[in-house]
Amino acid sequence: MENKEFVKDLTKMEDDFAKWYTDIVLKSELVDYAPIKGFMVIRPYGYALWENIQHVLDTKFKELGHKNTYFPCLIPESLLNKEKEHVEGFAPEVAWVTHGGEKELEERLCVRPTSETIICTMYAKWLHSYRDLPFKYNQWANVVRWEKTTRPFLRTAEFLWQEGHTIHATAEEAMEETLQMHKVYADFCKDYLAIPVIMGQKSEKEKFAGAEATYTIEAMMHDGKALQSGTSHYFGNHFAKAFDIKFQNKEGKLEYAYQTSWGMTTRIIGGIIMTHGDNRGLKLPPNIAPIQVVIVPIAQQKEGVLEKVGELKSELSKKFSVELDDRKEVTPGFKFNYWELRGVPVRVEIGPKDIENNQCIVFRRDTLEKETVSLDKLEERIAELMVEIQNNMLESAKENLKNRTFTAHDFEEYKKLFAENEGFAKIMWCGDRACEDKLKEENSTTIRCIPFEEDKFQECCSICGKKAKHMVYAARQY
């Protein structure tokens, strides 16, 4: 009864997916709304999840030779205006600082929407010789983009991210970096977040403002919509020319450097929720969960119970992230629901009779199954479960991706598919902007990417019927 009453507080995803999502992020205490419209407060549990993401990615970046830096969050307007295409792309979302104290500033300062301009300014100052290259820098920071419509994690006026910015002596080295970081993001999503992604290149319309090419990983959410989950950009020497980033080559001549940028944001937490969550709440992959195991004592007031669970926590904590819920003021049933809502992968239940029999009950969040496990085998079994749960969550997400991916041979079929379903549509595309715009205008879909692995199922464009250049994935997106 307690379980039903508790879960009833959540909107069912099949009734209202958007409301379900909002219920989860608020009730699981990942975030709360800030007193400024469009901003969020990331609460300790949500930030612990972001810290785990940070730790994994930061370790991978450093293994590849990247170093962390920090640049100012305020950027002079004159710097932003140095690269026309870039500033036009961000202008509608920029927040401006016009006063310092009571004094009006001589030049407006924008609150960082992205850092290319200020980083390029410093790179031009620091770079002298080919011997200095490559610069492989990253920063963990916040950015502000004044979004009109917001939703926690997915689209907020302020969010957290990492942005890598590298410069190289040759175009080949820069492209190699771009594609390498693209793969880092894809592997991270698969191996840690249990999210399968489609890897590919953005169309000219959808690429990053100022980039020569943008590479993306696109994930499918539980409702069939796409989430752009990480991007890697090849800039060529576009920004280098705008900001005069030159170096002296081996022959003593000045050359422009080649540049990349790549990033992942707190939006990926929304991706975890919408890929794996269910009507009981969050479902977190063990490889990224802030708490992997929660221990709930049964009849904890009885002699020996708290001592035993304390011993278990001490032992299990050597290998796993463990929480002991020994609150006296709530029932075990309430605790079960509390931790299921928060998506903890494994729950251990143990009471006086279990202790007598040298056993405990183990519950797995992904399948909601319980089993009895000997205390002598508990650590070993939990280690097995971490792998089983991680793999099962990935396979479930792959199945959703497969089942919601369709093929549209012509535009009528395409419109019919999206009238009846949400998902990814594989279509052939001639490459014309007019056909791409038609998708947006007629059913609010966009080309998500030109995949590296193209299934060219016909010769003609699915939109206009002319000769096709690419197979692309199209979808509605967050």
Per-residue pLDDT at 8 exceeds 70: no
Structure token digits, residue 166: 């590298």
Let me know if residue 281 belongs to a domain: no
Q: Are 178 and 327 within one domain?
A: no
Q: Are 64 and 129 within one domain?
A: yes
Q: Are 410 and 355 within one domain?
A: no
Let me know if residue 125 belongs to a domain: yes
Per-residue pLDDT at 314 exceeds 80: yes
Residue pLDDT, tens place only, 84-120:
676 677 788 899 999 999 999 999 999 999 999 999 9
Let me know if residue 76 belongs to a domain: yes
Residue pLDDT, tens place only, 37-87:
999 999 999 999 999 999 999 999 999 999 999 999 999 999 888 876 766
Q: What is the pLDDT, as a whole number, of residue 227?
A: 97
Q: Are 377 and 443 within one domain?
A: no
Q: What is the pLDDT, as a whole number, of residue 148?
A: 86
- Nearest Cα to Cα of residue 451 among 253, 235, 182: 182
224 confidence band (pLDDT: 50, 70, 90): very high
- Nearest Cα to Cα of residue 214 among 156, 166, 168, 263: 263
Instruction: Quickly list DSSP for 158-200.
Output: EEEEEEEEEEESSHHHHHHHHHHHHHHHHHHHHHTS---EEEE
452 confidence band (pLDDT: 50, 70, 90): very high
Let me know if residue 59 belongs to a domain: yes
Q: Are 215 and 109 within one domain?
A: yes
Residue pLDDT, tens place only, 226-271:
999 999 999 999 999 999 999 999 999 999 999 999 999 999 999 9
Q: Are 33 and 178 within one domain?
A: yes
Q: Are 54 and 166 within one domain?
A: yes
Residue 89 to residue 205: CA distance in whole angstroms: 11
Q: Are 345 and 442 within one domain?
A: no
CB atoms within 10 A of CB 293: 27
Residue 365 to residue 373: CA distance in whole angstroms: 16
Let me know if residue 284 belongs to a domain: no
Spatial CB neighbours of 421, under 8 Å, sequence gap ≥ 6 = 224, 404, 406
Q: What is the pLDDT, as a whole number, of residue 3?
A: 41
7 confidence band (pLDDT: 50, 70, 90): low
Domain at 223, CATH number: 3.30.930.10
- Nearest Cα to Cα of residue 322 among 289, 298, 300, 352: 289
Per-residue pLDDT at 152 exceeds 70: yes
Let me know if residue 285 belongs to a domain: no
Domain at 340, CATH number: 3.40.50.800
Let me know if residue 288 belongs to a domain: no
Q: Are 249 and 305 within one domain?
A: no
Q: What is the pLDDT, as a whole number, of residue 82?
A: 83
Contact present, 193 and 444 (Cβ < 8 Å): no
Tally of domains in the chain? 3
Q: Are 417 and 383 within one domain?
A: no
| Average pLDDT value over all residues in the chain | 95
Of 371, 400, 429, the one marking the end of a domain is 400
| Placement of tokens 């463990």 in the chain | 322
Of 276, 310, 327, the one marking the end of a domain is 276
Residue pLDDT, tens place only, 179-205:
999 999 999 999 999 999 999 999 999
Let me know if residue 283 belongs to a domain: no
CB atoms within 10 A of CB 313: 18
Residue 173 to residue 138: CA distance in whole angstroms: 17
Q: Are 77 and 209 within one domain?
A: yes
Q: What is the pLDDT, as a whole number, of residue 2?
A: 39
Q: What is the pLDDT, as a whole number, of residue 375?
A: 98
Which residue segment(s) compose the domain that 36 sits in?
2-276
Mean pLDDT of 159-164: 98
Q: Are 345 and 409 within one domain?
A: no
Of all residues in the chain, the percent with pLDDT exceeding 70 is 97
Of all residues in the chain, the percent with pLDDT exceeding 90 is 94
Cis peptide before 76 (omega within 30 of 0): no
Spatial CB neighbours of 427, under 8 Å, sequence gap ≥ 6 = 407, 408, 414, 462, 463, 471, 472, 474
**332 exposed, middle or buried (CB, 10 Å; 0-12, 13-18, 19+)?**
middle
Contact present, 452 and 472 (Cβ < 8 Å): no
Contact present, 389 and 347 (Cβ < 8 Å): no
